[in-house]
């Protein structure tokens, strides 16, 4: 057969000057990433659903398929109370946080408000401090015998507030969620051309009229998104209500779920699962609504006029009033609770008529370092933040790369899948992972026994016990943390991936690099700094996390967040104060590093 250079013939002959055309190979790396991601997301959720339709915990021999669990909780008046409270809390929280956050964003981004430089990082503090710590801070500073309450009592003869009332809880939750709205509102305002505001000023509008008539209406899509987000966050609030709602018995769904453990005395997994399904039934639609709103959030973004250098809007006589409003917010949301914790961790006890100088002590910290489980908790918290954070970012990057520049069904599947864990509150996620680590080994074991051959027997003898062991290692906790924060981490990584121009990768393909090489040689080096920033953010989030570890807490998996919940239940205020102080310190170090290296704390 004579060789020919005609493309058609050479293809037929399978030889010639052109390289043979290869059939597209299956991308194993991508397949593995997609499979593991889907298992990590859907297996725990599936178990929750499965468990909710059983009449007893899954490990009981007498379990049956049935709706008993739902019947029980729907008959429980506490459930309906908690559900109603949850809705009121979420609604009230959004009603407080959205207007305040929007105004704050306008003041910070557009006006000549004094002190904007140092206020900006402070605004983010409530996002990175655990709500458990915040709640505790309010108890020790403004509770009936808190520092500021006793001082107010000395001055006025009475305490003008009651932090345990449901109204106070709503107000506190609202104020601590203002930064979430602020973040979205301010980034929307920054991308909004200032010419529309200048047009209003030239037409004769004062700064306040500009804000209410132009700026805020124009970022309405972003505000709507932030509103749904904080409503959703309000529905999941756990730590604040656990701490502040306990004395007067205010329940929301998450605390109702937590208290169910103790309600019947025996593990009532089927009831918890039923509550969990009810919770997810509300949050999942909210998450999908958020996704839809986010798409339309940039609707009004207009192109800035050529060379429009932005001059901050002069507030004039309103300047100091705006500053005072902001100052009050900072005082109530950050200074009061955090200073309360710092004070409480250095005093022996506190109450009416106690002098601060008499009771200063370092004893609580000595107590902490004398208890191996607490020391382990601190070490684990640092480890899970530093090493676990790095591993999590590596995983998020792998998933993001599996979706990168591939517009197919699998990408769309992942796109929606990564949002699902967002709808599962941390407390629930911890619980479902506990079930995964209890259920999967026994299920596999049963299957291996059924196979009845030597390999299966060996596996059953060696592999299954190792799998069972996983539950009490920090790996279990890391997995739960990473899945809970999947959506957040993915956003961090994909933001930097989006900044890589497609032509840079296409150029590498054109000079002959394979897909894998392009990723290694072009894409990854370009997003290196984005990944480092993401690592720091994930560190901060993992230091803050508390609810996910609650059900996974066992000797070896202690972390500060979960320890706080269990110590608080045990009533050891001194240790809670000192641990909270350590937690705040860790977060402050992380924030300090982030600010030092100019990591963008939000986008």
Partner 1 sequence: MNVLTVNDLHLDYGHGATANPILKGVSMHLQRGEVVALLGPSGSGKTTLLRAVAGLESPKSGTIDIGERRVFDGSKKLELPAEARNLGLVFQSYALWPHKTVFDNVAYGLKLRKMTARDIEPKVREVLAQLGLGHLGERFPHQLSGGQQQRVAIARALVYNPPVILLDEPLSNLDAKLREEARAFLRELIVRLGLSALMVTHDQAEAMAISDRILLLNNGKIEQQGTPQSMYESPDTLFTAEFMGSNNRLPARVVARNGGTARVQVEGMALNATARGTGASNPDVDASALIRVEEVRIGRTPVDNGIQLPLSTCMYLGDRWECLFKHGNSSVRAYSKHRVDPGNYWLEMPAEKLWVF
Q: Which residues bind partner 1 (CB under 8 A)?
A: 193, 195-196, 198-206, 209, 213-214, 217-218, 220, 299-300, 302-307, 309, 311, 314, 316
Three-class secondary structure of residue 347 per DSSP: strand
Q: Which is nearer to partner 1, 299 or 520 (CB)?
A: 299
210 token code pair? 């500009």
Q: What is the DSSP letter of 478?
A: H
- What is the closest distance, in whole angstroms, from the C-beta atom of residue 603 to partner 1 in the complex? 23
* Pairwise CA distance, residues 476 & 556, whole Å: 11
- What is the closest distance, in whole angstroms, from the C-beta atom of residue 223 to partner 1 in the complex? 12
- What is the closest distance, in whole angstroms, from the C-beta atom of residue 202 to partner 1 in the complex? 4
Which contacts (CB < 8 Å, 24+ apart) does range 435-441 have?
Answer: 435/44, 435/47, 435/48, 435/51, 435/58, 435/269, 436/43, 436/44, 436/47, 437/467, 437/468, 437/470, 437/471, 437/476, 438/59, 438/471, 439/47, 439/58, 439/59, 440/43, 440/467, 441/467, 441/468
User: CA quadruple 422, 425, 426, 430: dihedral positive or negative?
Assistant: negative
Q: Which is nearer to partner 1, 308 or 593 (CB)?
A: 308
- What is the closest distance, in whole angstroms, from the C-beta atom of residue 213 to partner 1 in the complex? 7
Please report which residue ranges of 404-485 form alpha helices under DSSP H.
409-417, 426-451, 454-469, 474-484
Q: Which is nearer to partner 1, 202 or 511 (CB)?
A: 202
- What is the closest distance, in whole angstroms, from the C-beta atom of residue 541 to partner 1 in the complex? 35
Q: Which is nearer to partner 1, 19 or 117 (CB)?
A: 117
Would you give the distance in Å from CA 22 to the centre of its chain? 44
Diameter over CA atoms, the chain: 108
Half-sphere exposure of 428 (CA within 13 A, CB side): 34
- What is the closest distance, in whole angstroms, from the C-beta atom of residue 210 to partner 1 in the complex? 8
User: CA quadruple 327, 330, 332, 337: dihedral positive or negative?
Assistant: negative
Q: Which is nearer to partner 1, 201 or 291 (CB)?
A: 201
343 token code pair? 């004070």
Please report which residue ranges of 53-146 form alpha helices under DSSP H.
68-75, 77-110, 116-123, 125-128, 131-142
* Pairwise CA distance, residues 502 & 451, whole Å: 50
């Amino acid at each position: 057969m004579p060789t020919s250079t005609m493309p058609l013939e050479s293809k037929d002959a399978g030889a010639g000057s052109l390289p043979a055309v290869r059939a597209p190979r299956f991308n194993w790396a991508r397949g593995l990433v997609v499979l593991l991601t889907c298992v990590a997301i859907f297996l725990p959720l599936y178990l929750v659903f499965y468990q909710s339709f059983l009449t007893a915990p899954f490990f009981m021999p007498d379990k049956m398929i049935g709706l008993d669990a739902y019947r029980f909780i729907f008959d429980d008046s506490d459930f309906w109370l908690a559900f109603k409270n949850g809705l009121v809390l979420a609604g009230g929280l959004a009603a407080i946080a959205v207007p305040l956050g929007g105004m704050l964003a306008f003041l910070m981004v557009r006006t000549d408000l004094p002190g904007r430089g140092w206020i900006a990082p402070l605004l983010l503090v409530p996002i990175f401090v655990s709500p458990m710590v915040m709640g505790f801070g309010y108890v020790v500073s403004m509770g009936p015998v808190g520092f500021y309450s006793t001082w107010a009592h000395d001055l006025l003869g009475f305490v003008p507030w009651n932090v345990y009332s449901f109204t106070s809880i709503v107000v506190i939750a609202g104020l601590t969620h203002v930064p979430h709205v602020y973040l979205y509102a301010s980034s929307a305002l920054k991308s909004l051309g200032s010419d529309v505001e200048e047009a209003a000023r030239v037409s004769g509008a004062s700064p306040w009229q500009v804000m209410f008539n132009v700026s805020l209406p124009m970022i309405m899509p972003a505000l709507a998104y932030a509103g749904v987000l904080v409503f959703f966050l309000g529905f999941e609030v756990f730590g604040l209500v656990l701490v502040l709602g306990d004395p007067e018995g205010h329940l929301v769904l998450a605390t109702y779920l937590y208290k169910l453990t103790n309600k019947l005395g025996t593990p009532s997994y089927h009831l918890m699962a039923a509550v969990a399904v009810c919770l997810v039934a509300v949050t999942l639609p909210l998450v999908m609504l958020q996704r839809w709103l986010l798409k339309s959030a940039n609707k009004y973004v207009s192109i800035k006029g050529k060379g429009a250098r932005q001059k901050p809007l002069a507030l004039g006589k309103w300047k100091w009033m705006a500053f005072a409003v902001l100052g009050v917010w900072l005082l109530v949301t950050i200074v009061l609770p955090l200073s309360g914790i710092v004070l409480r961790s250095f005093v022996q006890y506190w109450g009416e008529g106690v002098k601060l100088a008499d009771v200063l002590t370092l004893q609580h910290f000595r107590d902490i370092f004398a208890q191996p489980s607490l020391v382990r908790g601190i070490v684990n918290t640092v480890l899970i933040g530093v090493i676990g954070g790095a591993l999590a970012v590596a995983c998020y990057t792998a998933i993001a790369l599996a979706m990168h520049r591939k517009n197919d069904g699998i990408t769309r599947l992942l796109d929606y899948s990564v949002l699902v864990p967002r709808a599962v509150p941390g407390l629930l996620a911890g619980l479902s992972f506990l079930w995964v680590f209890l259920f999967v080994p026994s299920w596999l074991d049963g299957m291996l026994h059924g196979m009845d051959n030597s390999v299966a027997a060996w596996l059953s003898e060696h592999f299954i016990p190792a799998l069972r062991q996983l539950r009490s290692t920090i790996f279990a906790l890391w997995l739960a943390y990473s899945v809970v924060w999947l959506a957040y981490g993915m956003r961090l990584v994909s933001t930097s991936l989006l900044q890589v121009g497609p032509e840079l990768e296409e150029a590498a393909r054109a000079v002959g690099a394979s897909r894998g090489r392009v990723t290694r040689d072009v894409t990854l080096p370009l997003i290196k700094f984005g990944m480092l920033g993401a690592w720091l953010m994930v560190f901060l989030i993992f230091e803050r996390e508390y609810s996910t570890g609650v059900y996974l807490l066992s000797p070896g998996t202690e972390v500060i967040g979960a320890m706080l919940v269990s110590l608080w239940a045990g009533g050891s205020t001194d240790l809670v104060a000192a641990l909270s102080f350590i937690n705040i310190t860790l977060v402050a170090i992380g924030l300090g590093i982030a600010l030092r290296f100019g990591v963008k704390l939000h986008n």
